[in-house]
Amino acid sequence: RMTWHSYHRLADIHGFLDYLAQTYPQLVSVETIGNSIEGRPLKVVKISGQPGSPAIWLDGGIHAREWISPASVTYIISELVENRDAHGEAVKNIDWYILPVVNPDGYEYSHRSDRLWRKNRRASGAGRCAGTDLNRNFDYKWGGAGASKEPCKEIYAGSGPFSEPETYVLSNFIQSKAGTVKGYVSFHSYGQYILHPWGYARAYPSDHADLSNVGRKIANAMYQAGGASYTVGGAAATLYPASGGSDDWARGTAGIKYTYTIELRDRGFFGFILPAQYIIPTGREALAAVKTLAVAVSEL
């Protein structure tokens, strides 16, 4: 059974998705779009809008130790399905595609063995370091600033762009939806930031003003919903330059206009080890963010 009073293992999260698809077959479907490097399924839930709706992609758990991300994304899924009428019309006019755990091997490893594990679990040969940073493995500006070619580093970019099944499968799935995906949010922690492209360098797309305006609307909605303050800005300029991120790929390669990385709570007091009592307020903030994005996408 799913609750938001504790952090759940992968099997519970996947069981929740399958339960929703069984219980609401007209609204919810679950598709295994591929498998992780250790063979775990990558399960995407689709929550269907009215026919002809634009799509928004949400993901969580690119980084294993950021447990508040899958927890908040599953909270969003629960509200969009089981409390659907409470959230207005805009969310019903979107096809939502949601992958709550992009890095299932790392997520399980962070529960079983190493709470602060970040990367996936690609093996790297005898006595060598395991894992690729999935948020350095996307093709756009791959291997540039803020990424490493050294497998022992936490920001190891992998042997080439999309060398990891998790990023390859995610990118192919979104590309298969061609021009229908108009919004992309990747949930991470921590720091309370709403980051928009670019991440590879302190530069901005030409529609920077649109990204910034919607980003500020998202921050206001998050504050109203949960009470935490989120800082809005370009990813490289606000945080640090880091290339090969999923957000830069979503914008630069896939052409998705409203692309954000949201760093959820907190600002560093607990950091990655955020106590479970913060799941509900943070989940409310994450839900408010995607509702605001749904309105912006509907107005395109």
**53 touches ligand 0X9 (CB under 6 A):** no
Hey, which residues between 188 and 217 contact ligand 0X9 (CB under 6 A)? Answer: 188, 195, 199
Using the minimum distance from each CB to Zn ion, give the nearer residue, 66 or 105.
Answer: 66
Q: Is 257 in the site for Zn ion (CB under 5 A)?
A: no
Q: Which member of 242, 262, 286, 288 binds ligand 0X9 (CB under 6 A)?
A: 242
Residues 158 and 256: their CA atoms lie apart, in Å, by 24
Please tell me the distance from the alpha carbon of residue 93 to that of residue 183, in angstroms, as a whole number: 13
Strand partners, 193: 231, 263
Helices 10-23, 68-82: inter-axial angle, 10-degree rounding: 10
The secondary element (H helix, E strand) that includes residue 55 is strand 55-60
Residue 26 CA to residue 248 CA, distance in Å, equals 34
For the bound state, the minimum distance from the C-beta of residue 28 to ligand 0X9, rounded and expressed in Å, comes to: 28
How far from the centroid of its chain's Cα atoms is residue 196's Cα?
13
Nearer to ligand 0X9, 164 or 247 (CB): 247
CA angle 162, 163, 167 (to 5 degrees): 45
Binding mask 187-216 for Zn ion (x = CB under 5 A): -x----------------------------
Tokens linked to 68 = 């508040």
Residue 219: phi, psi to the nearest 5? -60, -45
Binding of residue 248 to ligand 0X9 (CB under 6 A): yes
Residue with smaller CB distance to ligand 0X9, 95 or 188: 188
Q: Which is nearer to ligand 0X9, 194 or 221 (CB)?
A: 194
| Cβ at position 190, least distance to Zn ion in Å | 9
Site for ligand 0X9 in 79-138 (CB under 6 A): 135
Closest approach of ligand 0X9 to the CB of residue 100, in Å: 16
Helices 68-82 + 279-298 axis angle, to 10: 60
Q: Among 14, 40, 43, 63, which residue interacts with ligand 0X9 (rule: CB under 6 A)? A: 63
Instruction: Decide which of ligand 0X9, Zn ion, none touches 151; Cβ closer than 5 to 8 Å per partner kind.
Output: none
Tell me which H or E stretch contains 41. strand 41-47
Among Zn ion, ligand 0X9, none, residue 221 binds (CB under 5-8 Å by kind): none
With contact defined as beta carbons under 8 Å apart, do 198 and 248 qualify? yes
Which one of the listed residues 79, 164, 166, 263 is annotated catalytic? 263
- Kindly tell me which of 27 and 155 has the beta carbon lying closer to ligand 0X9: 155
> Burial letters for 19-50: b for 16+ Cβ neighbours within 10 Å, e otherwise?
ebbeeeeebbebeebbebbeebbbbbbbbbbe
Chain centroid offset of residue 9 CA? 17
For position 265 contacting Zn ion by CB under 5 A, the verdict is no
Note if 263 is an active site residue.
yes
Catalytic positions: 263
Residues binding Zn ion (CB under 5 A): 63, 66, 188
Q: Which residues bind ligand 0X9 (CB under 6 A)?
A: 63, 66, 135, 188, 195, 199, 235, 239, 242, 245, 247-248, 261, 263
